Structure 1
Amino acid sequence: MGQVWQRLIRKEDPSVYEDKDSHLPRVLRVRDFLALGVGTIVSASIFTLPGVVAAKHAGPAVSISFLVAAIVAGLVAFAYAEMSAAMPFAGSAYSWINVVFGEFFGWIAGWALLAEYFIAVAFVASGLSANFRGLLATIGVNFPKALANPVGTDGGMVDLVAVVVMVLVGLLLSRGVSSAARVENILVVMKVLAILLFLVVGLTAIHPENFHPFFPAYHLNADGTPFGGWQGIYAGVSMIFLAYIGFDSIAANSAEAIDPEKTMPRGILGSLLIAVFLFVSVGLVLLGMFPYQDYANNAEPVGWALRHSGHAVVAVVVESIAVLGMFTALIGMSMAGSRLLYSFGRDGMLPKKLGKLNSRKLPNHALAVLITIGVLIGAFFPFAFLAQLISAGTLIAFMFVTLGIYRLRPREGQDIAKPRFRMPLYPVLPAVAFLGSLIVFLGLDIQAKLYSGVWFLIGCAIYFLYGMRHSALTKGSAVEQETAALGQEKD
């Protein structure tokens, strides 16, 4: 039993990752990571979540839910910033935890994140498809049901737009991160301008009475979920937290950052600050335009509010740019997911072909697998119930990373270089960040916890049946043993 435990906690030498990832070209600057972070965090959710969460849980106090979720995400982001500055490796939490806690724990953290990327890529593509088809419908262009929905959903066979969008993003990324970063930067600027346009126009339609009462009285909804009071705000935090998890996509690409000690903290913390400002501002304006009850079951509250306040043209402009802006989240998630799969292949935890770079030093094998699985999930299968895995899996990785700071600090300046950025208020803040992530996780519904448990068991099975036997650490140990045995024979 002790021998098995020792195998589970074998730690990777950080210099090995430095050598393995040195072949990835370092081309990404602070502006690229800001665009990547804002593009991933400020996705379609900014146009839907404020109204939906206000109507379902928090009322006008939805902005408090956004702020509380942002505080928890911000605490975790500090840990991410130090980790990525100290260990700028591909794979983010997977690689870091492998170094500080050991192979098995790194695998579990990475496996939890993999659920996020597989499903998020499919969800964003599906959301983009729905919004794009909705825009076309306003001018009389309608897709046949067979080409508009996944198998088994309203007569559908395949979501054709989702397939095309994912393939296009895969082709763009296969040309290199520099090309993808240029497209990302342009689309993010357009998306932020569209949000600012909504804020400027929406401010002219504010009715202060819609903010009263700011904290509605607590009661249970018909489905038994809380509404109003601090209970409603807490329920809103668990729903909203999903919107802020995109900064992991920045860290996953840290092996391709120029001067990562400076670039990574600025990219992670800067993009989160911009996102918080935009989310809270949109929530306040949206809830000031119309009573929160009007946003119940409303799939496009921003467009609806603009149209019903007499700004139909602005609504079309904002929604059109929002559709284009969804590409930014798709690019960010696809980049991060492919780098995570690459790191699994690099270490032998999954087939080594995933860890191979092509002639242009790009992990396109891993990218092709990610896009293929995204297409299968998003285009051909109903997958709404899997959405809960995104928040649950990411929160598990967040808890690993915050605790990992306690194992990282004693090694900084030893076998790991001491980074220029370090998490403030150590050792208190990492514990607060861990507890915050745990509290948000506990606020998820029972299905989310059940699905994350099933995903965990699948990950354990893959590790014990394949990863443990084929990992680079196992093979390295075998080589060392053979070398030692040969040395003894010579003696």
Structure 2
Amino acid sequence: MTTLLKRMLRKEDPSVYEVKDAHLVRTLRVRDFLSLGVGTIVSTTIFTLPGAVAAEHAGPAVILSFLGAAVVAGLVAFAYAEMASAMPFAGSAYSWINVIFGEFFGWVAGWALLAEYFIAVAFVGSGLSANFRGLIAPLGLKLPNSLANPLGNNGGVIDLVSAIVILLVALLLSRGVTEAARVENILVVAKVLAIILFIIVGATAIRLQNYVPFIPKYHLNPDGSAFGGWQGIYAGVSMIFLAYIGFDSIAANSAEAVEPQKTMPRGILGSLLIAVVLFVAVALVLVGMFKYTEYAHNAEPVGWALRQSGHGIVASVVQAIAVIGMFTALIGMMLAGSRLIYSFGRDGLLPKWLGQVNDKNLPNHALVVITIVAIIVGSIFPFDELSQLISAGTLIAFMFVSLGIYGLRRREGKDIVNDGFKMPLYPVLPFLGFLGSLIVFNGLSKAAKLYAGGWFLFGLLVYFFYGLRHSYLNKNNGV
């Protein structure tokens, strides 16, 4: 038992990761990370979640849910910024926790994030598909139910649009990070302009009575979840939190950052700040245009609200740019997810071929895996069951990273050099980041927690029956 624990808790030498990741070319700058961050955070969710959360949980107070989630995300983002500055390795939380707390805890944090990337790619693909179908519907074009919906949902077999766009993004990423970043930068600008256009035009259709009552009276929904009161706002925070988790996708690519001590903190914190402003503005306008109950079970509320208020042309323009812009989230998520899978293969916790790179130093084996899994997930799970499942795994990783700051500070100046960003108000803010993540996790649905528990049980089986036996860390230490 003692030997087993020693093997599980062995910590990777940070200098080893520097060597292992040396073949990944450092080409990404602050503007690239801002685009990656904004493109990933401001994804499908900005066009879907404000309406869904308002209708299901918070009413007009959805704005408070967005702000509450932003506070927690901001606390964790500070921890991420310091970690990425001190340890700019591929794999983000997985690699950091492996260094700070040991291999087993690194695996748990990384496995949690892997659920995020698998499901988030499918989630964004589903949202893109819904908006695309809403865009072409006025033209009299409609896909048959078998090709428009996930398996078993309204006669669906596969969401064909989602599968195609995921494949297209995979092909782009297989050509290299530089090309993907160039496309990302252009599309992010277009998407932000589309969001601003919606805010300006939608503001002309606001009716103040739609904000009353701002916090509806509390009651339970038929499914047992909370609506109205502070309980509804809290339920909204847990559902909305997935909107802000995209900054992890920045950190996952820190091994490819130019001057990571500067670029990583600026990219992480800057993109989150921009995203919060855009999310709150969209939510404020959307719930002011129509009563929140109108957005129930609506997968594309932004386009719907514009059309219903007589701005059909603007709706088409916004949705067309939004659909194209959703590629940015897929680029960010698939890029980060492939780097995480590569990190597992790099360390032997998953088959070593996943940690191999091609002649252009790209981990395309890992890219193939996330592409296939995301398409399968998107073909099985309907849109409205995916959102909270993303948050569950990510929040667990966020708790690890927040607590990891304490271990990092004890080693800075010793085997870890950090002459870059430091989290302010230490040691208070790391604890608040952990506590906030725990509170948000507690507010997730029972189904989300159940699925998360099943995912971690599967992860433990993989670790003990494969990862522990094939780990390069333990082999190199002669155990």
TM-score normalised per structure 2:
0.97
Structure-2 separation of matches of 1:156 and 1:269: 40
Correspondence for 1:323 = 323
Against the structure 1 CA distance between its residues 266 and 15, is the aligned structure 2 distance closer, same or farther, given a 3 Å change threshold? same
Q: Which amino acid aligns with 1:101?
A: F
Q: Which amino acid aligns with 2:166?
A: M
Match runs of 1:38-437 below 5 Å: 38-379=38-379, 385=385, 387-437=387-437
SS of equivalent to 2:25: coil
Percent of matched pairs sharing the same residue:
72
Correspondence for 1:27 = 27
Against the structure 1 CA distance between its residues 312 and 270, is the aligned structure 2 distance closer, same or farther, given a 3 Å change threshold? same
Q: Which amino acid aligns with 1:290?
A: F
Equivalent pair of 1:355/1:366 in contact (CA under 8 Å): yes
Q: Which amino acid aligns with 1:284?
A: L
- Deviation string 1:332-353 (CA, Å, 9 cap, x unpaired) is 1100000000000000000110
Structure-2 separation of matches of 1:162 and 1:49: 18
Structure-1 separation of matches of 2:163 and 2:344: 25
Correspondence for 2:472 = 472
Q: Which amino acid aligns with 1:212?
A: V
Deviation at 1:149, TM superposition (A): 3.0
Deviation at 1:157, TM superposition (A): 3.2
Deviation at 1:297, TM superposition (A): 2.6
SS of equivalent to 1:393: helix
CA RMSD of aligned residues (A): 1.5
Equivalent pair of 1:82/1:419 in contact (CA under 8 Å): no
Deviation at 1:154, TM superposition (A): 3.1
Structure-1 separation of matches of 2:381 and 2:216: 39
Structure-2 separation of matches of 1:281 and 1:167: 32
Q: Which amino acid aligns with 1:189?
A: V
Structure-1 separation of matches of 2:101 and 2:28: 29
Mark the runs of 5 or more structure 1 residues left unpaired by the alignment: 482-491
Deviation at 1:30, TM superposition (A): 0.5
Equivalent pair of 2:97/2:106 in contact (CA under 8 Å): yes
Report the more deviating stretch, 126-135 or 414-423: 126-135
Q: Which amino acid aligns with 1:32?
A: D
Q: Which amino acid aligns with 1:162?
A: S
Equivalent pair of 2:127/2:383 in contact (CA under 8 Å): no
Report the more deviating stretch, 445-454 or 268-277: 445-454
Mark the runs of 5 or more structure 2 residues left unpaired by the alignment: none
Structure-2 separation of matches of 1:123 and 1:162: 9
Against the structure 1 CA distance between its residues 437 and 108, is the aligned structure 2 distance closer, same or farther, given a 3 Å change threshold? same
Deviation at 1:385, TM superposition (A): 4.2
Structure-2 separation of matches of 1:383 and 1:293: 19
- Deviation string 1:143-171 (CA, Å, 9 cap, x unpaired) is 23333333333333333222221111111
- Deviation string 1:124-146 (CA, Å, 9 cap, x unpaired) is 12222232223222211222333
Report the more deviating stretch, 143-152 or 409-418: 143-152
SS of equivalent to 1:138: helix
Equivalent pair of 1:117/1:334 in contact (CA under 8 Å): yes
Against the structure 1 CA distance between its residues 326 and 135, is the aligned structure 2 distance closer, same or farther, given a 3 Å change threshold? same
SS of equivalent to 2:139: coil
Larger gyration radius, structure 1 or structure 2 = 1
Q: Which amino acid aligns with 2:241?
A: F
Against the structure 1 CA distance between its residues 294 and 162, is the aligned structure 2 distance closer, same or farther, given a 3 Å change threshold? closer
Structure-2 separation of matches of 1:144 and 1:308: 25
Deviation at 1:383, TM superposition (A): 7.8
Deviation at 1:122, TM superposition (A): 1.6
Deviation at 1:410, TM superposition (A): 0.9
Equivalent pair of 1:126/1:379 in contact (CA under 8 Å): no
Report the more deviating stretch, 230-239 or 262-271: 230-239
SS of equivalent to 1:90: coil
